[in-house]
Structure 1
Amino acid sequence: MGSVRNILFIMCDQLRADYLACTGHPSIKTPNIDALAARGVRFTNAFCQAPVCGSSRMSFYTGRYVQSHGATYNGVPLKIGEPTLGDHMRDLGVATGLVGKTHMAADIEGMKRLGIDRSSIQGVLAAECGFEPWERDDGLHPDAFTDPNLAYNVYLRDNGYDGDNPWHTYANSGVDETGNVVSGWYLRNAHLPARVDKAHSEAAYMTMCAMEKITELGETPWCMHLSYIKPHWPYIAPEPYHNMYTEKDVIAANRGEREKENPHPVIEAFMGHEESVNFSDETKRRHVIPAYMGLITEIDDNIGRLMTFLEEQGRLDDTMIVFTSDHGDYLGDHWLGEKEMFHEESVRIPLIVSNPDSACESTRGSELHVLIEAIDLIPTFIEALGGEAKPHMLEGKSFLPLLEGNNSSEWRDFVISEADYSWRGARLSLGLTPDDARAYMLRTERWKYISYDQFRPQLFDLQKDPDELIDLGASDLHKEIRAEMEERLNRWLRHRRNRTTTSHEEIEKKTDTAKNRGIYFGVW
């Protein structure tokens, strides 16, 4: 086993932390991901910085909290000038690119203001979140917005799938009992096999692109972000994954009647969303989840292909492999659908890290229960590749020492996640302005505290109520706990890394040295 030379950063979209065999799901089949966990470390308490695609990913890609980078929701551009994973990796001489999804919106106005040509090298990197776009595809291509020349659409047509948008009409559609082509956008069609062969699905295509690019890179050190579009909806899987699981494989929903009797106003508003109403229907829920599980096993099979390829190429010996997700999926738990709020089903993510370095032998196959944040990945990558830490800019912490068995007692004691639900119907039903629809989660080992604009907070005792069924946000017995957590949240807000252009070392060098530099103020 050698030192880290390359990094393979695998991300699934909307994969729950508990929907893998190695994380405790009783019936799902994920042998290849399980094998990766056996070669590395599985972090059981990893959390995203925002339980929604775009904002979560911008934190992964910048190493900074949402409060700092400002891309608070899908489609909110990451402001020009925010250093990203690609910038940090290129500083170390590592080619860094994307295969799959980022959900990043480019700051086009900022680029225009600074005169950055979109077609220049600088313009491409600025518009692609710092990645070389080896194969960018965010998925979600309805006919109204599709690009017929999207690489995946061209690939499908080359393989016999006709039409302007075979992504929709083949990869994400099925044929119903009457012979009609029907869309996978509709939950009622989740039981049907997608019209695409599994060899040409989105997961298979992205895996193929990744292997081709690794071959092309040869001995050039690389950092590849392989970002699978699934198991995010549309929930429709190709054969044989479409019926690999049945209603009997669906675990019981984590929800209680008490949650509906007197819910928090924001949660109640989210319960009224169409996806929550449908996933709260047990029949519909059990109809859809087998397809979700099938999509996960399809990804697992493709990761098996990829691991075999890496072994044949000799790359398992010098490549750090990270497997994670941008956020979870409620799937009807707590009477909710989708994500965006802060229950564990939505905000906790799977995180498996396999480091080939011999210094990590003692932790292989282990579970670590420390609190990990998505923003910890970039500092870890930098340290693994021998770079220097950037604490004035990066808000995460390298967990490389944890992989090497050095369980520091000084590790963090809480994690943060943020939400901006200005774009959702919940804001309208609550009568809020766009500036009033924000929420913050502060989670310790025992407590989960959620602070809302305009509304009372929520509080859960994870020790006594691990399923988060009893909201203590209005409990007289817990006033002091809530006050303490709110103060901790306020302290956190006051210590964001906003002075990113000057390092701590530069400040130390210049502190109280004005006179030495010929600058005299207040001297008699």
Structure 2
Amino acid sequence: MPKNVLFIMCDQLRWDYLSCAGHPGLETPHIDALAKRGVRFDRAYVQSPICGPSRMSFYTGRYVSSHGSTWNSIPLKVGEMTLGDHLRPLGVRTALCGKTHMAADAEGMKRLGLAPDSTIGALVAECGFEPYERDDGLHPSTSYGKRNKNYDQFMKELGWEDENPWDSVANSGEDADGNILSGWFLDNSDLKARAADEESETPYITRRAMDFIEEAGDTPWCLHLSYIKPHWPYIVPAPYHDMYPPETHSPVLRHDVEKDDPHPVFGAFMEERVSKAFTNQTTRTKVIGAYMGLIKQIDDQMGELMAYLDAKGLRDDTLIVFTSDHGDYLGDHWLGEKELFHDPSARIPLIVVDPSREADATRGTVSDALVEAIDVVPTILDYFGGQEVPHIIEGKSLRPLLHGQQEALRDFVVSEYDYSMRQVRRRLGVSVADAKLTMLFDGRWKYVFAEGFRPMLFDLETDPDEFHDLGGDPAYATECDRLQALFFQWTRRISQRTTISDAEIERRGVDLNEARAGIIIGFPTEADLEAALEADKKPPS
């Protein structure tokens, strides 16, 4: 039987909003069942805490500073290899159902003569995925997002005549007088969406994933099922809209000490409009209820999808990855949205189910290994029997951990953030070139290098909630120096030499190959050259 991969990604799902991760009021039995069948990686981190760059790292297996797509709508440059580029030579159909947040390198494609509607051009423009159904779900009536006309048609066939049913039906509610209220506004989050459950985005894209699997037949496939929820607009259909009253919510994770002389960048993000909105308890309560309802809806769809795989007899041949592109502060640390590196933002759920017999010993376990989003591509490539390409892919396959053969992959994880497009940069008076942050976490110490400012430092052993920034305390200067040295070591990696591997350089050698090619500089006489060539023929002693 052919092997398959189901690569499931939620958008803005926090690591701790699953019952298997300990959430006190949210039951996610179907996602929990995946964890029981595989391994839940408890310390998984994204390479950037914002959609676009995080996803480009997921799809390339490369750090943000390597692939260069540092913020939403900054194109992934032509030539960056993606998951589909690695899998297609292996005969694997690699397709997308849902969101990528990909911005195509239109100028690069034009320079190379790649038409967007050509076979190659479409793949380059869609992160290497065959776009079976792309649905970014963001501002679909503007140039910012990509309108899913299939979903529009689906809604119209159900009788919705709205010009933009994504906005006015799936992501809006009604008041008692029948007035349509947009789900974009946070205080409308407690309304039920006008769309019925089966009409809304999450069940729709699940059904489209099933359509793809049905169509793929016996061809090996890798399907990226990418939900656009629980990302805002925070609004959900009945019966999910009122399932989670305040007593089911996790308490807000913030402390007054965080506002006492905060790091300048942290303080500037506290002043963002969305951060201030989440300090209002009424608003936050409405959003949390909807956020939990959106996750519950996803979990129910996981039940539908897994039942479908079982009915098709695909359970034993399908590797499943369940994850998220980043988290959501939801008012924690006096912040809204994501973007900085506290665990509510940069730490993600990651569950991997490997159907191989070699993975039986680790089923249902929780790994505390430090893993990164870039590990997903090499894991999938490994599953399909592809060769390792460490000069291109910077992540590491998780299969040794899944098979109980290894305890750790790395000593630290890294996440990067370019805030040059945010109002924060202007508020701080920082240049575009200097608006960058890099987080390094070694399992205890979380260090954030902030260009032009002092570092941030958190000791998660003594301060697991990350309330106390020690970066400005002279008593921790030695620790900062140690972590800065690790950061400097990481920045010196070779990440752009992707056209030739270390192994190939080693094979070619560096000495007499040039002489054999006629470049004989350094030899005083022809006799010296002949002697060197003769000596090189002899096996080493």
User: Normalising by structure 1, what TM-score?
Assistant: 0.98
Secondary structure at 1:167 match in 2: helix
Residue type at the aligned position of 2:323: T
Partner of 2:534: none
**2:48 is the counterpart of 1:50:** yes
Q: Which residue of 1 aligns with 2:421?
A: 423
Letter of the structure 1 residue corresponding to residue 106 of structure 2 = I
Q: Which residue matches 1:466?
A: 464
Match of 1:102 in 2: 100
Given that 2:99 and 2:135 are in contact with CA atoms closer than 8 Å, whether structure 1 keeps it comes out as yes
Residue in 1 that maps onto 2:363: 364
* Conservation of the 8 A alpha-carbon contact between 2:319 and 2:355: yes
Give deviations 1:255-302, integer Å, cap 9, x for gaps. Answer: 100001111110111001111001122222112101000000000111
Q: After superposition, where does 1:190-269 map in structure 2 within 5 Å?
A: 190-269=189-268
Share of identical aligned residues, percent? 54
Question: C-alpha offsets along residues 132-188 of structure 1, whole Å, 9 cap, x if unaligned?
Answer: 000001001354457777111111111111121000010000001332001000001
Cα 1:325–1:450 change in 2 (3 A) is same
2:336 aligned with 1:337, yes or no? Answer: yes
- Indicate if the aligned counterparts of 2:136 and 2:146 stay in contact, CA closer than 8 A: no
Partners in 2 of 1:177 and 1:444 — Cα distance?
52
Quote the Cα distance in structure 2 between the aligned partners of 1:186 and 1:472. Answer: 36
Superposed, 1:445-456 pairs within 5 Å as 445-456=443-454
Q: For residue 193 of structure 1, give the secondary structure of its aligned residue in structure 2.
A: coil
Aligned to 2:531: none
Displacement, 1:518?
3.9
Q: Using structure 2 for the length normalisation, give the TM-score.
A: 0.95
Q: Does 1:111 align with 2:79?
A: no
Contact 1:99 1:227 in 2 (8 A): yes
Instruction: Give the structure 2 partner of residue 78 of structure 1.
Output: 76
- Match status 1:514 vs 2:508: no
Which of the residues 132, 135, 158 maps onto 1:134? 132
* 1:303-452 matched pairs, under 5 angstroms: 303-408=302-407, 411-452=409-450
Shift of 1:68: 0.2
CA distance in 2, matches of 1:487, 1:162: 60
Tell me the equivalent position of 1:500. 498
Distance (whole Å) between structure 1 residues aligned to residue 342 and residue 148 of structure 2: 39
Gaps of 5+ in 1: none
Q: Is the 8 A contact 1:141 1:167 kept in 2?
A: no
Which residue does the alignment assign to 2:159? Answer: 160
Relative to structure 1, is the Cα distance of residues 133 and 143 closer, same or farther in structure 2, using a 3 angstrom cutoff? Answer: closer
The alignment of Structure 1 onto Structure 2 pairs a total of residues equal to 521
Structure 1 residues 149 and 487: CA distance shift in structure 2, 3 A: closer
The code of the aligned residue for 1:204 comes to P
- Measure the CA separation in 1 of the matches of 2:17 and 2:300: 15
Q: Does residue 13 of the first structure (1) align with residue 11 of the second (2)?
A: yes
Letter in structure 1 aligned against 2:519: I
The answer to whether the 8 Å contact 1:148/1:164 transfers is no
Q: Considering only aligned residues, what root-mean-square deviation do their CA atoms show, in Å? A: 1.2
Whole-Å Cα distance in 2 between the matches of residues 18 and 147 of structure 1?
30
Look up the SS of the partner of 1:7 in the other structure. strand
Distance 2:148 2:204 in 1: 16
Matching residue of 2:122:
124
Task: Look up the SS of the partner of 2:521 in the other structure.
Answer: coil
Q: Tell me the CA shift for residue 407 of structure 1.
A: 2.1
Cα pair distance change 1:100/1:245, threshold 3 Å: same
Contact 1:68/1:496 (<8 A) preserved = no
List gaps (5 residues or longer) in structure 2: 525-541
1:395 maps to amino acid: E
CA distance in structure 2 between the partners assigned to 1:148 and 1:75 by the alignment: 15
Moved more, 461-470 or 513-522: 513-522
Give, as a single letter, the amino acid of the residue that structure 1 aligns with 2:113: G
* 2:141–2:147 contact (8 Å) kept in structure 1: no
Between the aligned partners of 1:165 and 1:458, the Cα distance in structure 2 is: 44
Query: Residues of 2 paired with 1:161 and 1:417: CA distance?
Result: 43
**CA separation of 1:275 and 1:112: change in aligned 2, threshold 3 A:** same
Contact 2:134 2:148 in 1 (8 A): no
1:517 to partner: Cα distance: 3.8
Deviations 1:290-333 (A, max 9, x none): 10000000001111100000000011110000000000000000
CA distance in 2, matches of 1:473, 1:435: 23
